[in-house]
A and B are shown apart, each in its own frame.
Chain A
């Protein structure tokens, strides 16, 4: 019992540290700076502080590679970063690519070491639907007999800043040094202005095979990443709720605060309910993770709920701010964009409902 509460304390401390770092970096001002600098989604200084000083670059990675913590720690950090939309590659690199590499062979170790030191990686294994499908007819990349990788992936999160690419070929997972020959990354304009994405083209780029079992690596890694993303979604939704509650208390119309009108109260009550239920999904997943390695059901429950919760709260945040909520300068649209991108990058709600049905074997009679 006391081990649990010790760990809880440590998670709370980590959460508080990240929160205060985000605050010292100016909250959403960090996101704005990156946008104005022409590198939306990339604040190198912020990443430096978080990876060097707080040490989150190794979160969830194997201990032998200076990794620390697991699901609760990743969720706590993810939630805090989601609240301020800090443009750092924690999700795309530490979580998405990192969880994949953590399950790969020893040949992945050098990359993991580099990542624990702050270099970033990007995962190129998902289809246009945000899903990994081993039966996919056309793969993004192919591994030649000379050990070189060729192919094209049109939307790779975090690619513009990444040093390493983790690419899926029909039978392997391969790590490619994007600073090496044969690599081209084209940064793309993104819906979510707080996260970067790029088109990656490889032409006979040297690669290191890190797994011969891509499916057994990717499935659990993606379930884990889905849960960590759910925490980000709740963090963002909570920030939207907090910001909106503060606004409707200040804004007066008809000689009273608009937050005193029932229509507005009821919408915000609904928002709170959705967020609290999302928190239950996260807690439920952590508890289940203590008893099983198979996180598909808990990831599906969390994703199905949190996709919709974040979309709802971010949309209502704009609505309840009235006209100013619709302006570029107001932060509301930054969350709106993040919520919609998040609901897509790892597979839509519909696809996860279908996945849940399959996992729970509903079509059996």
Chain B
């Protein structure tokens, strides 16, 4: 499918959406206040099945791999088309997606496309983009979070295979994934970011143990993945030996770019907060109105900024500094909404009175995680300061030193 005229393409997409899923209906269910879902595995499977059915239909209609080059089975369109597609999707009743789906199609698939061999692309790209196979990230470790390049999971080559020992943490959706994009240390005697290699690990390989992490809000969106003498064939190595950091950087960049296709809104919105305040007669209090106004403004400007960025993406231009503030603002908004809702509810935050308002505690308890996941608030500020403002890096004690010589803990 090729189109140089944007509008005609938009119409085509809309027609397909109309016929396939239909427009968004305005009937509102009870507000979903969770920041991180708290579902049983069965419930998660059900959710995944719905979105996967949509994604398969989408892929088969030719809309699955918009920006991938044609030779890799994609449509070869500029990024602006993907952004426009996402925007159009929001007008239609697309099933809510999950983190695992976006990781599969938006992080792992592009990583394979960019760094994989032809054989790997042939074998994995379509299944990943079609969500026939699901893939999670195996990046962070207990000792390597913000300092991801300090990872220690070890892969030792012998013949055509690698033996892997290590532990990964905060892996979203691992329990439901078929594959994991794994970053492992293949050479501890060079500087840390040069001794990393990427692999695609089938999660049913012997030696892989997946355990849910229980988060403070109660659910288990994340997992620990233990790798004990896991064998990975070299044909599942993604990219060159020692070039895994390039794969990591590209993947993390995709993460930052992701405009959230069908992404559910996390936590309660300002509208939910206002409805709460109104239902309690709290808006008669001028102090409450003052606080609400500040949160309204933060929310409105967060949306306006996201729109500016989306428009730039759709037009194929750089969004400028506005492109770097989204996550920080979103996490601050979540915190402010949650804390104020708690204030309003008072003792109904303290204990569950059975009237549904205790749901707000899921938001309150999930917000701290959002300040941490996907790049902590502090890392976001570092990135803004160093990459946007160009401020000088701090002296580093870990540059130019072999990984094996580094202090870790």
Contact = CB atoms under 8 A, between A and B. Distances in A.
A71 B88 CA distance: 30
Contacts of B389: 241, 245, 265, 268-269, 272
Given A265-B382, A362-B274, A354 B290 contact: yes
- Per DSSP, chain B at the interface is helix
Interface string B289-300: 110111011001
Contacts of B302: 277
Nearest to A304: B297
Given A270-B381, A277-B329, 17 more contacts: A241-B389, A249-B390, A257-B392, A260-B393, A260-B394, A262-B382, A262-B394, A272-B388, A273-B328, A276-B321, A276-B325, A352-B293, A353-B294, A356-B293, A362-B274, A362-B292, A365-B278
B385 A350 contact: no
B283 A281 contact: no
A249 B390 CA distance: 9
18 contacts: A245-B389, A245-B390, A249-B390, A249-B392, A259-B392, A260-B392, A260-B393, A260-B394, A262-B394, A264-B391, A265-B386, A272-B321, A272-B384, A272-B389, A273-B325, A353-B294, A354-B289, A364-B278
Interface residues of B, number: 41
A353 B289 contact: yes
A213 interface: no
Given A262-B382, A283-B308, A357-B283, A272 B325 contact: yes
Nearest to A363: B283
A231 interface: no
Interface residues on A, range: 35 or more
A330 interface: no
A269 B293 contact: no
Given A260-B392, A284-B304, A265 B325 contact: no
Given A356-B296, A357-B283, A265 B391 contact: yes
B284 interface: yes
Contacts of B394: 260-262
A352 B290 CA distance: 9
A268 B391 contact: yes
Contact of B385 (A256, A265, A280): A265
B161 interface: no
A45 interface: no
A357 B304 contact: no
A354 B395 CA distance: 48
A204 B293 CA distance: 44
Contacts of A276: 305, 321-322, 325
Contact of A279 (B277, B322, B384, B392): B322
Contacts of B281: 365
A363 B289 CA distance: 9
A277 B325 contact: yes
Interface in B324-373: 325, 328-329
Interface in A269-300: 269-270, 272-273, 276-281, 283-284, 300
A350 B290 CA distance: 7
Interface of B: 274, 277-278, 281, 283-284, 286, 289-290, 292-294, 296-297, 300-302, 304-305, 307-308, 321-322, 325, 328-329, 378, 380-382, 384-386, 388-395
A185 interface: no
A7 interface: no
A304 B329 contact: no
A259 B304 contact: no
Nearest first, the 6 closest Cβ-Cβ pairs linking A and B are: A353-B293, A265-B385, A269-B381, A280-B304, A269-B384, A357-B289
Given A245-B389, A266-B378, A268-B389, A281 B304 contact: yes
Interface string A322-365: 00000000000000000000000000001011101100101111
A28 B245 CA distance: 47
A283 B286 contact: no
Interface string A224-257: 0000000000000000010001001100000011
Contacts of A365: 278, 281, 283
A360 B386 CA distance: 40
Contacts of B380: 269
Interface string A98-136: 000000000000000000000000000000000000000
A264 B274 CA distance: 36
B256 to A, nearest CB: 15
Nearest to A255: B395
A301 interface: yes
A93 B392 CA distance: 43
B362 to A, nearest CB: 25
A273 B304 contact: no
Given A272-B321, A304-B293, A280 B301 contact: yes
Given A268-B385, A272-B325, A273-B325, A305 B392 contact: no
B395 to A, nearest CB: 7
A290 to B, nearest CB: 14
